[in-house]
């Protein structure tokens, strides 16, 4: 009996100590931190003003354009906070004055290393629906926006660290609330960052060039005789005018393509010899080796140097490359051959291409840095 009494006594002592411990250090379940709920969330939809001849831009259902989403994306695009040491922004390699491209052959990241390929122009990038980057490895803008941040030779950051910087920022939590309706700064994610960047990038539109005005039949705009010759060369529009074969890759009206091409820029005796495998390096398809995404010709005058490796310093060198027939490789596109265009024809072709320049786009305050 004494033994059982002792057990009961010990049990009661343990319970008592436990209760005392609980009184001294009670277990508290922290409530959800709804630190943003007092900030209004009233999304205002935005419809892009796109001329009919450019077609319709497909906007993802899970990332509709809103005024606050676009504005947040603009801030993030120009803010170096997304890089590992907060010194390089998206705009560091995609400068508005260079057609949202860069003025160097390959851009330099925060570690001092240069990238492997030229920074592509972002003009009208929202129309691109068959992959982004030169090799098309990202299916859409939302996916593409995630890549440069963690690329060790670009922004060299770690997404969890970037997200923490945004959560503790004095202004960004409120901006994410207004853009996406989150109730707490803890709900900021890399996916929301990418969505905001994608919204802003879909507003990077060039629709006001001479070419666009002629397509819209705006009074007072017409091609010169030289530009008309260039147009005929570009699209093979006249039987007595040579075909410059441009239209196959640079389709009017966006001046780009949903396809990938080997434009004779690399010398290769076999598929395995391409210095840059291009899309083939991503897909593994032997037919894709050496092929690249077709960049836009819009504002091309401002986005030199050209090609995936930035080898050409000016547009004249680009035209001479195509006129010469390019370099041999097993799967060079059939439209790349020696054209034998004379200087008058080359000048006319250049004159037509320059009708895609849009200086008003370059000065659009809605596309400029909010920090200036």
> What tens digit of pLDDT does each residue of 24-68 get?
443 333 345 778 999 999 999 999 999 999 999 999 999 999 999
Residue 212 corresponds to which tokens in the numbers above? Answer: 């666009």
pTM of the model: 0.90
8 Å CB contact between 148 and 140: no
Residue 228's Cβ-side half-sphere holds a number of Cα atoms within 13 Å equal to 6
Q: Alpha carbon of 361 to those of 159, 299, 306, 335: distances in Å? A: 32, 9, 20, 32
Supply the pLDDT for residue 25.
Answer: 41
What does the buried/exposed string (b/e) look like for 73-109 if buried means 16 or more CB atoms within 10 Å of the residue's CB? bbbbbbbbbbbbeeebbbbbbbbbebbbbbebbbbbb
What does the buried/exposed string (b/e) look like for 15-42 if buried means 16 or more CB atoms within 10 Å of the residue's CB? eeeeeeeeeeeeeeeeeeeeebeeeeee
C-alpha to C-alpha distance for 138 and 154, rounded to whole angstroms: 16
C-alpha to C-alpha distance for 167 and 263, rounded to whole angstroms: 45
Structure-model confidence comparison of residues 3 and 325, the more confident one:
325
Which residues, at least 6 apart from 27, have a Cβ–Cβ distance to it below 8 Å?
none
8 Å CB contact between 298 and 125: no
**Per DSSP, what are the bridge partners of residue 261?**
292
C-alpha to C-alpha distance for 335 and 252, rounded to whole angstroms: 17
Supply the pLDDT for residue 359.
Answer: 86
pLDDT bucket at 74, cuts 50 / 70 / 90: very high
Tell me the CA end-to-end span of the chain in Å, nearest whole number: 86
| Cα torsion 194, 195, 200, 204: sign | positive
Query: For all residues of the chain together, what is the average pLDDT?
Result: 91
Over range 113-120, report the average pLDDT.
95
Q: Which of 9-18, 73-82, 323-332 has the lowest mean pLDDT?
A: 9-18
Percent of residues, the chain, with pLDDT higher than 70: 91
Over range 276-304, report the average pLDDT.
96
Structure-model confidence comparison of residues 192 and 14, the more confident one:
192
- Three-state DSSP class for residue 114: strand
Q: Alpha carbon of 124 to those of 148, 282, 343, 367: distances in Å? A: 19, 24, 31, 13
8 Å CB contact between 341 and 242: yes
**Per DSSP, what are the bridge partners of residue 364?**
none
Number of other residues whose CB lies within 10 A of the CB of residue 54: 16
DSSP run (H or E) holding 292: strand 292-293
Number of other residues whose CB lies within 10 A of the CB of residue 234: 23
Q: How many helices (H) and strands (E) are present in the chain, helices listed first? A: 13, 2
Find the Cα–Cα–Cα–Cα dihedral 179, 181, 185, 188, rounded to 10°. Answer: -60
**Per DSSP, what are the bridge partners of residue 278?**
291
> In 3D, which of 145, 142, 149, 123 has the Cα closest to residue 212?
123
C-alpha to C-alpha distance for 288 and 135, rounded to whole angstroms: 9
Percent of residues, the chain, with pLDDT higher than 90: 87
């Amino acid at each position: 009996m004494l033994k059982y009494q002792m057990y009961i006594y010990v049990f009661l002592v343990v319970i008592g100590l436990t209760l005392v411990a609980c009184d001294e250090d009670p277990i508290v379940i922290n409530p959800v931190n709804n630190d943003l709920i007092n900030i209004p969330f009233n999304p205002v939809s935005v419809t892009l003003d796109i001329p009919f001849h450019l077609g319709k831009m497909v906007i993802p259902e899970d990332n509709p354009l809103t005024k606050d989403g676009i504005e947040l994306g603009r801030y993030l695009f120009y803010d170096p906070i997304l890089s590992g040491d907060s010194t390089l922004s998206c705009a560091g390699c995609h400068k508005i004055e260079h057609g949202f491209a860069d003025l160097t052959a390959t851009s330099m990241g925060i570690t001092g290393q240069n990238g492997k390929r030229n920074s592509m122009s972002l003009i009208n990038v929202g129309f691109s629906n068959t992959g982004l980057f030169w090799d098309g490895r990202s299916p859409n803008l939302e996916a593409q926006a995630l890549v440069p941040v963690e690329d060790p030779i670009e922004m060299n950051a770690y997404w969890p660290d970037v997200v923490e910087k945004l959560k503790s920022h004095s202004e960004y939590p409120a901006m994410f609330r207004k853009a996406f309706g989150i109730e707490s700064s803890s709900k900021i994610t890399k996916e929301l960052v990418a969505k905001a960047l994608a919204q802003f990038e879909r507003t990077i539109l060039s629709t006001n060039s001479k070419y666009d005005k002629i397509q819209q039949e705006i009074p007072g705009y017409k091609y010169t005789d030289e530009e008309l010759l260039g147009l005929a060369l570009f699209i093979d529009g006249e039987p007595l005018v040579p075909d410059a074969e441009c239209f196959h890759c640079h389709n009017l009206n966006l001046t780009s393509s949903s396809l990938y091409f080997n434009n004779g820029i690399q010398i290769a005796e076999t598929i395995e010899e391409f210095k840059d495998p291009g899309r083939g390096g991503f897909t593994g398809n032997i037919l894709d080796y050496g092929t690249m995404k077709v960049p836009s010709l819009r504002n091309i005058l401002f986005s030199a140097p050209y090609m995936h490796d930035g080898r050409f310093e000016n547009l004249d060198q680009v035209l001479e490359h195509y006129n010469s027939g390019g370099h041999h490789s097993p799967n060079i596109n059939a439209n790349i051959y020696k054209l034998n265009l004379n200087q008058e024809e080359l000048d006319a072709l250049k004159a037509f291409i320059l009708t895609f320049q849009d200086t008003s786009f370059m000065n659009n305050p809605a596309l400029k840095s909010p920090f200036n």
